[in-house]
Chains A and B, each alone.
Chain A
Amino acid sequence: MDNEKTEVKKIKTQIIPAIHNTVSLQFYLRTEDGKPIANEEVVYNLLRETGEISNSYRQITNEEGKVHLTLNLKGDTIIQLLYEGSDKYEKAKVNTFRVRPSKEEKELKNGHPYQVRRREEAQKKKEEAKKEKEAAKLRKIEEFAEAQNQLQTVGDDNVAIELRNVSLSFKIGKDKIDNLKEYVIRTINRTKEKKTIFKATDNVSFKIYKGEKVGIIGFNGAGKSTLLKIISGVYTPDEGEVIVNGNIAPLLSLGAGFDKNYSGRENIFLNGAILGYNEKFLNEKYDEILEFSELGEFINLPVKNYSSGMLSKLGFSIATIVDPDILILDEVLGVGDITFREKSREKLQSLMASNTTVLLVSHSIREIRNICDKAIWIEKGRVRAVGEVDAICDEYEDEAQNVSKEKTKKLKPQRF
């Protein structure tokens, strides 16, 4: 009998890849020396993840020993193939397969599993790259802070502007209470909204040396203009110190405080006074301002009769008459018609000449590269990086491209 009972060869199976939820399983039942076994019963057990049998099918092998079953599967399923043996043949070992159609299904309708896998891999890679980038960013900020600390220990008197741990925060409420009535009522009813504090400038420190041309870059709302206002003295920081050596010409607004009833001449003196010029200086420079502004006879007419171009020409002429040590610019200004625009740019160029320290905020990276030799990158009120202009600008432009893809839709005010 021993000889007659031939060993059952391992059940040979073949799996055909699933399409949708359907799995086709095909396999051959053979003896060890390859002879097909016909008319024997084979069991398919479908198991849930937990191990309990959810379904079981029985099939009879054909003459080639082949069994074929098509299943419609949902969710995680384990398929067990089993031959229980008979008088003639030995029991065959259990073969199991695991099918996971549902996850793929969720991720990709009508997608080929290979595609899904490829996509998953790509996603993973992306995430890893992102994590790496974040880490690199953090490292850079740390490195920068360290370098900055070292800078601060170097004492020298060649500094034009120095900021030491400057912070400034704004209080913002959704509805601004700007009258007493509202204030009293809200206080009584206790419906005053808690104000959120928005840090426009957060622990910023840097040094700008005399004669340096520095560009400040950063995305909208990063705090560039606030920083300029802190340096020019409009805002007083909550914490920290601002040290400025030399006289500042902030070209932040042209023609501030113009009185529309005043003539151009009178406005030169009024605006000049607001800009901090004294009387003697203005008397000396009056002719120069008039000549530069190209207003001619109009200078004696009230400015309410001026065109907006003429107003900005006058404003520009007054603002740029000084010979400042430090020039602060929010975007390079070109005002007036084509000829004046050219002239005003030339004037600015001459103001930016060798010894002047220039602080320029601009969204035009090209301009920053042209004018500046150093750049400060501000992000969310903090200094992201300081360094040689091209290096910083390259980095910034790279980031800008990524951001425009990823973040622009998610932009929201960063609150602390």
Chain B
Amino acid sequence: MTLEILKKGTSENFLLKQIIKKNFTSKYKDSFIGVLWSFLNPLIEMALLTAIFSAVFARSIENFPVYFLTGRIVINFFNSGTKIAMRSIKANRSIFNKIFIPRYIFALGGICSEFLNFLMSVIVLIAIMILTQAPFYAMALFSVIPIAVLFLLITGIGLILAIVCTKFTDIEYLYKIFTSLLIYACAIFYPITSVPQPIRGYMELNPVYGIIAQFRSFVMEGQFPSASLMLTTFAISLVIFIIGVLVFRKYQDRITLEL
């Protein structure tokens, strides 16, 4: 994979932009309120879960709406990003079959457009923080670190899935189950302190949970999370990313033949 894509004015860069634009506009093209859905969706979900769980976890979680939203927007980016990357080759087989374009470009474009969706839900998060009078910390700017790591992780997993899903179609359904399980495993709507210790240690190995914990630490508490958590999350994500790139490189030519 070359870095051509980052250079302005190249056709790859232009194609990436076009794909992002296409994904973004087509997502809300047919619905009446359009892009507003990007804001409404997390809001409604948050309101619902706040109504249900704030009573249960009221004592242990200080600001449930913000606690929930921080976790929710991260895991949503993870789930939709990997999903769109997973389908990227299969959905565009008619193009891959006829014209040579870099095979990873649809996966990357999809992840980028989901990243834009993520940024829009960050706006929702800020709005809710203002509404609930949550404190703002300058430290929160450091949350770009876990988000960058998340981007790496999604790209790695997405590239692996794109290859595997083209070969085995039922991976898509299995992965759907996996993602819904992941929501429960990442302490989105319950406090991590309610999990007993040995299990909690394993949970911290899950890079998605690691990223959520770091994100919350920067945004809600305004302090650096533990260095060990940051390092393990980064290391695991990097390894997955490298494996993803290698797997994709190895199989991308073969997968075109099977389309």
Contact = CB atoms under 8 A, between A and B. Distances in A.
A65 to B, nearest CB: 87
**Most B-side CB within 10 Å, residue of A168, A235, A259, A273:** A273
Interface stretch (B43-51, B97-105, B140-148, B198-206): B97-105
Contacts of A262: 22, 25
B98 A259 contact: no
B11 interface: yes
Given A236-B253, A270-B18, A280 B9 contact: yes
A276 to B, nearest CB: 5
A27 interface: no
A55 to B, nearest CB: 71
Given A179-B169, A257-B95, A261-B26, A235 B256 contact: yes
Contact of A170 (B9, B13, B99, B257): B257
A180 B166 CA distance: 11
A253 B98 contact: yes
A178 B168 contact: yes
A234 B97 contact: yes
A146 to B, nearest CB: 32
A179 B18 contact: no
Given A180-B170, A256-B94, A256-B99, A277 B11 contact: yes
A407 interface: no
A252 to B, nearest CB: 5
A6 interface: no
B170 A259 contact: no
B170 A232 contact: no
Given A180-B168, A257-B92, A275 B99 contact: yes
Interface string B47-58: 000000000000
Contacts of B95: 256-257, 274
Nearest to A168: B257
B174 A180 contact: yes
Contact of A261 (B10, B29, B92): B29
B15 interface: yes
A250 B100 CA distance: 9
A279 interface: yes
B151 interface: no
Interface residues of B, number: 32
Contacts of A234: 96-100, 256
Given A234-B96, A257-B95, A278 B257 contact: no
A183 interface: yes
Output the residue of B9, B94, B101, B169 with the most chain A CB within 10 A: B101
A278 B11 CA distance: 4
Contacts of B176: none
A279 B167 CA distance: 34
B14 interface: yes
Given A270-B22, A280-B9, A178 B30 contact: no
A282 B13 CA distance: 14
A113 B140 CA distance: 105
Contacts of A261: 25-26, 29-30
Contacts of A232: 99-100
B171 interface: yes
Given A178-B168, A256-B94, A276-B11, A250 B99 contact: yes
Contacts of A273: 11, 14-15, 17-19
A168 B30 CA distance: 43
A181 B95 CA distance: 28
Nearest to A200: B257
A233 B100 contact: yes
Interface in B1-55: 9-11, 13-15, 17-19, 22, 25-26, 29-30
Given A278-B14, A279-B14, A259 B9 contact: no
A180 B99 CA distance: 29
Interface of A: 168, 170-171, 178-181, 183, 232-236, 250, 252-253, 256-257, 259, 261-262, 269-270, 273-280, 282
22 contacts: A171-B257, A178-B167, A178-B169, A180-B168, A232-B99, A234-B97, A234-B100, A235-B256, A253-B94, A256-B99, A257-B92, A269-B18, A270-B22, A273-B15, A273-B19, A274-B15, A274-B18, A275-B99, A276-B11, A276-B15, A276-B99, A279-B14
A-B pairs, top 9 by smallest CB distance, nearest first, are: A233-B100, A253-B98, A273-B15, A179-B170, A236-B253, A273-B18, A180-B168, A278-B11, A279-B14
Given A179-B170, A180-B170, A256-B99, 17 more contacts: A181-B170, A234-B97, A234-B99, A235-B256, A235-B257, A250-B98, A250-B99, A252-B99, A256-B94, A256-B95, A257-B94, A270-B22, A273-B15, A274-B99, A274-B101, A277-B11, A279-B9
